[in-house]
Amino acid sequence: MVRMGLEEVARRMRQAEQSVGRVAGATKLIAVSKSQPAEAVREAYEAGQRDFGENYVQELADKAAQLADLMEIRWHMIGHLQTNKVRQVVGLAQMIQTIDRPRVASEVAKHASAQAQRMAVMIEVNVGGEEQKSGVAVGEVGGLIEVVRSHASLDLRGLMTVPPFDLDVEQTRQVFDELRAVRDAHGGVGQLPELSMGMSHDFEVAIAAGATMVRVGTAIFGARARTV
Ligand SMILES: *Cc1c(COP(=O)(O)O)cnc(C)c1O
């Protein structure tokens, strides 16, 4: 069942790429496995999926331990990050997508350095303004980029956003276009190659707007046991 979900999402991704003239495979799929059992992740891995997103540090730690035999798995932290959990995440994740304030950037840098790692990170941007709870304000992105770049143990890959949930397609498209504009205002694709945007209900819109990563949960795994 997970395999079918993955195949269907991949098919829709290729179709969305093609319909706007993007190269097939230009967008990477992050399978969001929060509140799904480790066995579902294993099933997806066996079907060829390698990148997985988790929102909660403890859940990530539990699953990573249960799936330690999957040598090529890559975990992406996509949930709000508390500074007291940073050390653990740095040891587990291959990418942290939710850097949203200088303090978190410094904390990640400190632990990455202590663990002799260079951590791939994305800055989470609050494009929707005050309706949105997480992410750095658009006007503060430049300052946060400078902070991230000042740490040799951080490898800034791009920008990420989560639009407010109650938007219609047109409003969602505007949010994605704005994230892309923020990227262009800060050096463009050469400086910030990745744009992480789009979820189960809007990943095709995100691909049309230039996403390089979409984060898809329910369209692959089915409904979550609890709402998060
Ligand atoms: C849960 C979550 C997703 C995936 O949501 P679906 O609607 O299940 O595809 C993507 N990104 C973030 C940040 C999430 O919290």
d(CA 132, CA 161): 10
* pLDDT per position as a tens digit, 104-151: 999 999 999 999 999 999 999 999 776 667 899 999 999 999 999 999
pLDDT attached to residue 225: 74
pLDDT digits (tens, 9 = 90+) for 92-106: 999 999 999 999 999
Distance (Å, whole) CA 129 – CA 181: 15
Q: Tell me how far the alpha carbon of residue 103 is from its chain's centroid.
A: 20
Of 135, 132, 133, 139, nearest to 124 by C-alpha is: 135
Q: Is any ligand 1 atom within 6 A of the Cβ of residue 78?
A: yes
The pTM (predicted TM-score) of the whole model is 0.96
Residue having the nearest C-alpha atom to atom 6 of ligand 1: 217
State the average pLDDT for the chain. Answer: 96
**Choice from 52, 201, 215 to test ligand 1 binding pocket (greatest atom count within 8 A of CB):** 215
What residue has token string 């230039």?
210
Given a cut of 70, the residues of the chain with pLDDT beneath it are 130-132, 226-228
Structure tokens at 16: 């969305």
